[in-house]
């Protein structure tokens, strides 16, 4: 030790350096050890799983569970360092895994699995089926994916140029493999290649190796228990340094399509910079048994005992589950039904409407029928809208809009009280408006005429409502269908705006999305035709027409004695120019009106109806004009023309300006379209415009691909061969937009007609035969396409021989089709594997529904048509389809029915679409069929076909149709034992009888609960969710104390939404029920400057209220805190003051009742992430009916904000709130 103590300085430093070097080697070896692992079974593995991936109790990694169209992922939990230095190359690595694929159909799997290395561990946007759960149709092939994969693919997909449906491929950023080979291995004994079947249910092993020096990737495959072959199955030279960054995740992905398949990984080993360790085969878990197995005698004997034991175990589990849930037990009380958001039971609505009898029918429109009802619980009169089957094309989007808008609250809105979901139909429950719609009072001879004061009151009410929708809601809401028939009158003749079936909403400050033009003729703003974008100003245009309508008592489109039609706006404008505007006032008022007010409304209507959107006022200004708080701007009848002229002089002949100048002419041309089209249809030879085939013997169709005409006269599109496409086309093309005219004089009328698509009609009889009852692919499409269109580059399978991955969705296709699809494909958002769809330039249908028909003879006396399902792959049963396009109404309808049944009067599908936007003028078009197979043996037949221009298709002679070939689909083998033991049978029969009785009792009132209810509907939270969101209400999440309880910050696990949870303390017991009633009722308020109550929970004597979380806390902290709070500038303070003023105006005057806050102060004003002010803490608030006297109460509030009269009368009124608001203004201004 002494020698060391007196060691020279240099030697001592060297010794220390050596020790550090040795220590570094130890650390390096430790780090390398972390970059290798081995799993011989996964019982103790800590893998990161998502989708359908699970680890079974036996230790199997199960990637998919057999469910259709799903994906599963399993990843090593931590990222691995693939580069030792940021600028270095990717290291060598090696791995091996053992897998097995178990498919419900022998020799068929869907769709495969892959080992991958990726910089991203989230695959939420990836698609299942052919995309294997790692990519989608948008990012496939992008170099920014940074993904390397080895695929074990069991489906041949033409889109990715797969070599077979049983191959192994090396993939870089794409599912188009850089190298691939059919599955198999090279035997080391003789070098012979031996095939392997990936879906054979056998266990196999894969080895993947990357050599950094040569950049060679080797993939080897072999059966289990066979040593790794010397020669790899597939190799590729590819520098992974161009693909992978420093760190990346490794794992497995798998996906299913339309086949029930299960993918298992039994073992996995990986090593960075060396050879992966061998997997101990003896320790691997066993695969589950798949397929029928003979039942043993022992099983026959013990089965009854087993069932009894199962019942006992099930009961025990039930008890355990109940005990487990007791910790989260919640209560439901009467106040929830009375004050809270309501989901009605179907039984209550059925009883309320007396079974939806016709005598209670109020009207039809807006996606369904409306019935009057009286709720049996509280005798409240309601209106129940029952959605009809015609609304299928947009049911989910419609539900989203309606339920979201149903949360709005305003005294001039028809209130959505609740909803019900049952057996594919949606029922919406509204306030009942006893006086019906406004249009009946304006136009009906039976109704009493409204005097001017009532009309002016209705106008101001609807204007106040629109101001709320456009500027005061959380989102901008555009109604899109403002008209007199959508304004309902309550018992006091207050105007309520209703029917939000066409409404759209978007965030403040964002741009509204382009959408199809919807609404009512006469109320549509001109810019909607050009841009397709609804905005608050398009609502203002419709409101302007509404003002003229209610003042003049005339419809927006008028008709004179000669039958000519013209616009109400033009009529009023013409009278104004003549100085006789007073003559336009409704004659039924008999002069008993305030002339100044009426003229103000008429001029305001014209101002709102300006053709230029920028010339229209906002609803904020409209309210100021109506209330007399701002004079109407001076303008003359010629101002519009002057503005138009100035626009043309400054910008040249702008096409949009010219179109606006001639809005009236365009409307007249549209109204005359039907007669013009009829004149054109009469030109030419009718025989050239139609054909009919009752069988195809002797027909001269153009055929390609697998299509043939059989000896019996069948058009056989596919012959059962896998991955084929076929086309059959009528030899003569048609001119769909107009046609050749024999007249040498070209008129404006003929020119207009030639630009419109003519009406056409088609009918055909078809059959789809699939050998396997569980799988069929892919379908038939009747199409109309340009005569020079080529299908040579189209793919089979999901593209049905029409498009490929590049051309699908291209507007240059100019193709319209009706698909009969027997395969559900997520890429095209198919609704199911048995649907009809209308396709425009893409296989993503604009409208689709499940196959079926409406029976004209099934509907009783109600006029309804009973819907019956049909199966497209019906195994030998032919069906007939009718496709019609009405060129005047721009409507496509599709109907279908079993063969020998007449065409149903109610179509299966109906879509409004102007095909003139698809078809090119003066170009010839062909009509025909396309069909394709994928990985399944299917045959597609057409038995008869007819087509006609400008009229109904000729009838097909059913008796002359050829017969289909005899066909017997494969069935699954029967159970070896048909009859179980007598005791078991007795037990099952008894259990079944009880189940049937219970089911029949409840079936009449069966309801459904779906995802949209949680996402969009009023929410009652579970205590479990709130407990987890706040980490068990820990003190670290405590935001503050006050207003009857404590407030905690939380994050909902399901949506990651930040919330504030108020937990009402036991100290507030004295007024618990009244407090609950007040708060939950006030929670129905919707205004952008109020803190929003998102939901609630009731449990064991306590109430939990869930609010939006306000990231910037309360205003007082920004005014008085000396800490790190930033001082608010004046613009921010003024914006806060204006926001609170808007919120108070809503509480005092715009909601259904008068609400007095009673505690306005800076500490109760919260600031969101954008520093917008929100008034909160309604714990002291009171509400009362309009016109009623507020009740006397004890004085509450905060010293300094209490008005003097509270001490005398103890009556809280809006004026006491205004006193507090005045103090608040001084406080914010003075700091």
| pTM beyond 0.75 | no
Q: Specify the pLDDT at position 739.
A: 47
Residue 658 has pLDDT above 60, yes or no: no
CA dist 304 and 635 (Å) reads: 92
Residue 117 has pLDDT above 90, yes or no: yes
CA dist 1227 and 420 (Å) reads: 48
Q: Specify the pLDDT at position 966.
A: 73
Q: Give mean pLDDT, residues 228-248.
A: 93
Q: Name the most confidently modeled range: 172-186, 563-577, 1009-1023.
A: 172-186
CA dist 1042 and 1040 (Å) reads: 7
pLDDT-derived band at 97, boundaries 50, 70, 90: very high
pLDDT in tens, 948-970: 998 899 999 998 999 888 765 54
CB neighbours of 836 closer than 8 A, spacing ≥ 6? 818, 819, 820, 821, 848, 849, 850, 851, 881, 894, 896, 908, 909
Q: Specify the pLDDT at position 988.
A: 66
Of 83-87, 450-454, 1135-1139, give the lowest mean pLDDT range. 83-87
Q: Specify the pLDDT at position 332.
A: 43
Number of helices (H), then strands (E), in the chain = 26, 58
Q: Give mean pLDDT, residues 103-127.
A: 84
Q: Give mean pLDDT, residues 1076-1103.
A: 72
pLDDT in tens, 1183-1215: 777 777 777 567 777 888 888 887 677 788 889
- Measure Cα distances from 726 to 147, 430, 716, 743, 794 in Å: 36, 52, 9, 41, 10
pLDDT in tens, 261-295: 889 999 999 999 899 999 999 999 999 876 544 44
Q: Specify the pLDDT at position 1024.
A: 86
Residue 671 has pLDDT above 50, yes or no: no
Residue 694: Cβ within 10 Å count: 20
Q: Which two tokens stand for residue 741?
A: 């005219």
Q: Which residues are annotated as a binding site for ATP?
A: 1062
- Looking at the DSSP bridge assignments, the partners of residue 820 are 780, 836
pLDDT in tens, 677-703: 332 233 333 345 889 999 998 888 888
Q: Give mean pLDDT, residues 624-646.
A: 69
pLDDT-derived band at 1076, boundaries 50, 70, 90: low
CA Rg value for the chain: 37
Residue 102 has pLDDT above 80, yes or no: yes
CA dist 478 and 535 (Å) reads: 6
Q: Give mean pLDDT, residues 728-738.
A: 86
Cis upstream peptide for 902 (omega within 30°)? no
Of 42-51, 610-619, 1084-1093, give the lowest mean pLDDT range. 1084-1093
Q: Give mean pLDDT, residues 152-169.
A: 88
Q: Give mean pLDDT, residues 662-675.
A: 36
Percent of the chain whose predicted confidence (pLDDT) is above 90: 32
Give the three-class secondary structure for 1009. Answer: coil
Q: Is 861 exposed, middle or buried (0-12, 13-18, 19+ CB in 10 A)?
A: exposed
Q: Give mean pLDDT, residues 451-460.
A: 94
CB neighbours of 642 closer than 8 A, spacing ≥ 6? none
The larger pLDDT score, comparing residue 77 to residue 1205, is at 77
Q: Which residues are catalytic?
A: 481
Q: Specify the pLDDT at position 968.
A: 53
Q: What is the DSSP letter of 895?
A: E
CA dist 1219 and 1202 (Å) reads: 7
pLDDT-derived band at 983, boundaries 50, 70, 90: low
pLDDT-derived band at 1071, boundaries 50, 70, 90: very low
Of 614-618, 766-770, 877-881, 1188-1192, give the lowest mean pLDDT range. 1188-1192
pLDDT-derived band at 828, boundaries 50, 70, 90: confident
Q: Which of 645, 671, 649, 674 is nearest to 660 (CA)?
A: 645
Q: Specify the pLDDT at position 1081.
A: 56
Judge whether 819 and 843 are in contact, CB under 8 Å: yes
* CA 600 to the chain's CA centroid: 44
The residue assigned the tokens 């800490």 is 1123
CA dist 702 and 732 (Å) reads: 10
Q: Which two tokens stand for residue 423?
A: 């057996």
Q: Is 637 exposed, middle or buried (0-12, 13-18, 19+ CB in 10 A)?
A: middle
Q: Specify the pLDDT at position 510.
A: 76
The residue assigned the tokens 């025909």 is 928
> Maximum distance among all alpha carbons in the chain?
127
Residue 333 has pLDDT above 60, yes or no: no
Q: Give mean pLDDT, residues 144-171.
A: 90
- Looking at the DSSP bridge assignments, the partners of residue 1167 are 1173
Q: Which of 888, 901, 813, 891 is nearest to 856 (CA)?
A: 901
Q: Name the most confidently modeled range: 379-393, 459-473, 1089-1103.
A: 459-473
Q: Give mean pLDDT, residues 780-806.
A: 86
Residue 1069: Cβ within 10 Å count: 11
Q: Which two tokens stand for residue 609?
A: 């109806």
pLDDT in tens, 422-442: 766 778 888 899 998 898 898
Q: Specify the pLDDT at position 394.
A: 45
Q: Specify the pLDDT at position 6.
A: 42
Residue 1069 has pLDDT above 80, yes or no: no
* CA 769 to the chain's CA centroid: 33
CA dist 520 and 516 (Å) reads: 13
Residue 23 has pLDDT above 70, yes or no: no
Q: Specify the pLDDT at position 331.
A: 42
Q: Which residues are annotated as a binding site?
A: 1062
Residue 762 has pLDDT above 80, yes or no: yes
Q: Which of 772, 722, 766, 718 is nearest to 258 (CA)?
A: 772
Q: Give mean pLDDT, residues 485-497.
A: 90
Give the three-class secondary structure for 1195. Answer: coil
What does the mean pLDDT of the chain come to?
Answer: 79
Residue 1118 has pLDDT above 90, yes or no: no
């Amino acid at each position: 030790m002494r020698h060391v103590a007196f060691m020279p300085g240099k030697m001592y430093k060297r010794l220390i350096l050596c020790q550090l070097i040795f220590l570094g080697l130890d650390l390096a070896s430790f780090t390398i050890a972390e970059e290798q692992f081995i799993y011989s079974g996964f019982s103790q593995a800590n893998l990161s799983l998502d989708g359908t991936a699970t680890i079974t109790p036996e230790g199997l990694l199960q990637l998919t569970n057999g469910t259709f169209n799903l994906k599963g992922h399993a990843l090593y939990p931590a990222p691995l360092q693939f580069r030792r230095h940021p600028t270095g190359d990717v290291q060598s690595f090696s791995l091996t895994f053992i897998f097995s694929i178990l498919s419900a159909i022998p020799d068929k799997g869907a769709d495969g699995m892959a080992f991958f290395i990726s910089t991203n561990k989230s695959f939420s946007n990836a698609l299942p089926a052919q995309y294997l759960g790692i990519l989608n149709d948008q990012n496939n092939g992008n170099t920014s994916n940074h993904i390397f994969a080895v695929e074990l693919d069991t489906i041949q997909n033409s889109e990715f140029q797969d070599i077979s449906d049983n191959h192994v491929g090396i993939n870089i950023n794409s599912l188009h493999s850089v190298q691939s080979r059919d599955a198999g291995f090279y035997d080391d004994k003789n070098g012979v290649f031996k095939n392997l079947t990936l879906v054979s249910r056998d266990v196999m092993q894969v080895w993947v190796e990357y050599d950094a020096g040569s950049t060679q990737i080797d993939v080897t495959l072999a059966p289990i228990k066979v040593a790794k072959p010397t020669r790899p199955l597939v190799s590729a030279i590819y520098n992974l340094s161009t693909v992978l960054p420093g760190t990346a995740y490794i794992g497995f992905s798998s996906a299913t399509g339309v086949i029930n398949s299960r993918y298992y990984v039994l073992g996995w080993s990986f090593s960075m910079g060396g050879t992966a360790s061998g997997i101990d085969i003896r320790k691997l878990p066993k695969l589950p048994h798949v397929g029928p197995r003979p039942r043993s005698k022992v099983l026959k004997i013990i089965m009854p005992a087993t069932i009894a034991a199962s019942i006992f175990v099930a009961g025990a589990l039930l008890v355990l589950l109940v005990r487990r849930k007791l910790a989260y037990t919640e209560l439901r009380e009467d106040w929830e039904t009375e004050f809270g958001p309501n989901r009605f039971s179907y039984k209550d609505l059925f009883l309320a409407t007396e079974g939806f009898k016709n005598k209670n029918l109020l009207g039809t429109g807006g996606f369904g029928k409306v019935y009057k009802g009286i709720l049996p619980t509280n005798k409240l009169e309601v209106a129940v809208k029952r959605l009809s089957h015609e609304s299928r094309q947009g049911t989910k989007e419609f539900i989203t809009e309606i339920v979201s808008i149903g949360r709005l609250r305003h005294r001039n809105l028809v209130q959505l009280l609740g909803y019900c979901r049952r057996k594919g139909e949606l029922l919406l429950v509204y306030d009942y408006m006893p006086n019906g719609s406004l249009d009946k009072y304006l136009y009906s001879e039976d109704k009493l005429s409204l005097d001017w004061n009532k009309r002016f009151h209705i106008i101001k009410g609807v204007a106040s409502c629109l101001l709320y929708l456009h500027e005061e809601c959380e989102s901008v809401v555009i109604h899109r269908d403002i008209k007199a028939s959508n304004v309902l009158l309550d018992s006091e003749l207050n105007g309520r705006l209703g029917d939000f079936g066409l409404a759209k909403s978007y965030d403040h400050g964002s741009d509204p999305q382009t959408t199809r033009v919807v609404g009512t003729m006469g109320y549509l703003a001109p810019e909607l035709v050009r841009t397709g974008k609804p905005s608050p100003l398009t609502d203002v245009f419709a409101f302007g027409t509404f003002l003229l309508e209610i003042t003049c008592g005339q419809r927006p489109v008028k008709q004179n004695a000669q039958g000519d039609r013209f616009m109400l706006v033009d009529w009023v404008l013409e009278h104004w120019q003549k100085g006789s505007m007073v003559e336009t006032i409704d004659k039924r008022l008999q002069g008993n009106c305030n002339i100044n007010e009426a003229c103000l409304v008429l001029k305001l209507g014209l101002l709102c109806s300006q053709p230029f959107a920028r010339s229209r006022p906002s609803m904020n200004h409209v309210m100021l004009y109506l209330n007399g708080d701002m004079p109407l701007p001076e303008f003359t009848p010629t101002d519009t023309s002057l503005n138009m002229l100035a626009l043309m002089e400054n910008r040249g002949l702008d096409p949009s300006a010219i179109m606006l100048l001639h809005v009236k002419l365009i409307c007249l041309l549209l109204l005359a379209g039907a007669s013009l089209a009829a004149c054109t249809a009469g030109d030419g030879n009718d025989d050239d415009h139609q054909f009919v085939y009752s069988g195809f013997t002797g027909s001269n169709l153009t055929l390609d691909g697998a299509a043939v005409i059989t000896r019996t006269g069948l058009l056989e599109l596919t012959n059962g061969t896998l991955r084929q496409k076929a086309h059959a086309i009528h030899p003569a093309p048609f001119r769909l937009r107009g046609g050749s005219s024999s007249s040498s004089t070209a008129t404006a009328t003929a020119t207009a007609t030639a630009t419109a698509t003519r009406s056409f009609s088609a009918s055909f009889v078809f059959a789809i035969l699939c050998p396997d009852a569980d799988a069929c692919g892919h379908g038939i499409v009747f199409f109309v396409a340009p005569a020079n269109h080529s299908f040579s580059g189209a793919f089979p399978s999901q593209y049905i021989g029409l498009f490929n991955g590049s051309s699908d969705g291209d507007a240059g296709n100019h193709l319209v089709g009706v698909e009969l699809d027997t395969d559900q494909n997520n890429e095209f958002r198919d609704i199911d594997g048995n649907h009809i769809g209308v396709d425009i330039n893409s296989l993503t249908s604009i409208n689709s529904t499940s196959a079926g028909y409406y029976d004209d003879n099934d509907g009783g006396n109600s006029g309804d048509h009973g819907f019956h399902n049909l199966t497209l792959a019906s195994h030998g049963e032919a069906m007939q389809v009718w496709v019609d396009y009405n060129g005047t109404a721009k409507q496509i309808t599709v109907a279908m029915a079993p063969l020998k049944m007449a065409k149903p009067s109610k179509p299966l599908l109906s879509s409004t679409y102007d095909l003139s936007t698809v078809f090119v003028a003066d170009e010839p078009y062909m009509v025909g069929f396309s069909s394709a197979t994928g990985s399944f043996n299917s045959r597609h037949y057409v038995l008869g076909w007819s087509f006609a221009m400008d009229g109904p298709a000729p009838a097909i002679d059913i008796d002359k149709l050829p017969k289909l070939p005899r066909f017997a689909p494969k069935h699954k083998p029967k159970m070896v034992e048909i009859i179980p033991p007598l005791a078991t049978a007795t037990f099952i029969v008894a259990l079944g009888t009880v189940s049937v009785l219970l089911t029949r009792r409840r079936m009449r009132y069966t309801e459904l609960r779906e995802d949209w209810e949680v996402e969009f509907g009023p929410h009652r939270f579970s205590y479990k969710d709130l407990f987890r969101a706040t980490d068990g209400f820990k003190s670290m999440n405590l935001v503050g104390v006050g207003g009857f309880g404590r407030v905690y910050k939380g994050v909902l696990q399901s949506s990651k939404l930040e919330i504030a949870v108020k937990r009402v303390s036991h100290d507030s017991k004295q007024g618990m029920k009244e407090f609950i009633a007040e708060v939950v009722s006030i929670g129905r308020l919707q205004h952008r400057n109020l803190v929003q109550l998102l939901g609630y929970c009731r449990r064991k004597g306590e109430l939990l209220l869930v609010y939006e979380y306000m990231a910037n806390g309360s205003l007082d902290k920004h005014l008085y805190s000396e800490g790190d709070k930033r001082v608010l500038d004046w613009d921010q303070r003024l914006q806060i003051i204006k926001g609170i003023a808007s919120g108070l105006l809503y509480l005092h005057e715009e909601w259904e009742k008068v609400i007095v806050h009673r505690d306005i102060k800076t500490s109760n004003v919260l600031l969101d992430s954008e520093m917008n002010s929100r008034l909160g803490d309604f714990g002291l608030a009171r509400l009362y009916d309009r016109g009623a006297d507020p009740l006397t109460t004890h004085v509450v509030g905060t010293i300094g904000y209490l008005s003097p009269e509270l001490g005398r009368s103890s009556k809280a009124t809006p004026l006491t709130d205004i006193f507090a608001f005045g103090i608040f203004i001084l406080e914010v201004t003075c700091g």
